[in-house]
Amino acid sequence: EPEVTQTPSHQVTQMGQEVILRCVPISNHLYFYWYRQILGQKVEFLVSFYNNEISEKSEIFDDQFSVERPDGSNFTLKIRSTKLEDSAMYFCASDGGQGPYGYTFGSGTRLTVV
C-alpha cells in the first residue's frame, strides 16, 4: 500500500537553528499538508500546498516557516530560527483529490528544540 514517508523520525536541534523536515508524499497525490501536534495537545493545521504553491495556511504558519516541493517528489517544511515552543510532532499528509477522498499521513517527525 502506498505510504507517505517522513524523515527524520526524530530531530534534536539547538534553539535558533534552522531545521528542514522532509516528506515524500504518495506519487500521484495532488494535495499536501503539514500538521503539528504539541505534546498533549490536539493536532493543528499548518499549511496546505497544491500546484506548487501554498493554498492555505494557518496563523501558526508565520514567516518562520516555509514549504517547498524542490524536485517534484519531496515536500519539505523549513523552520528558521527554531524556538523552544516549536518542539512538537510534525506530520505530513497527502491526498489524491479535493479533500474528501482521504488522507494518508506520514509517521511524523518528532522535533525537539533545546
Partner 1 sequence: KNEVEQSPQNLTAQEGEFITINCSYSVGISALHWLQQHPGGGIVSLFMLSSGKKKHGRLIATINIQEKHSSLHITASHPRDSAVYICAVTSYMDSNYQLIWGAGTKLIIKP
Q: CA dist 91 to 2, 42, 51, Å? A: 16, 12, 20
Write the DSSP symbol of residue 110.
E
From 16-24, 34-42, 66-74, 78-86, span contacting partner 1 (CB under 8 A):
34-42
> Residue from 14, 28, 42, 63 that binds partner 1 (CB under 8 A)?
42
**What minimum distance in Å lies between the beta carbon of 79 and partner 1?**
18
> Residue from 16, 81, 102, 114 that binds partner 1 (CB under 8 A)?
102
Report whether 105 contacts 24 (CB < 8 A).
Answer: no
Interaction between residue 25 and partner 1 (CB under 8 A):
no
> Residue from 56, 73, 80, 83 that binds partner 1 (CB under 8 A)?
56
Tally the C-alpha atoms within 13 A of residue 13's C-alpha that lie toward its C-beta.
24
Size of the site for partner 1 (CB under 8 A): 23
Phi and psi angles of residue 84, each rounded to the nearest 5 degrees, phi first: -55, -40
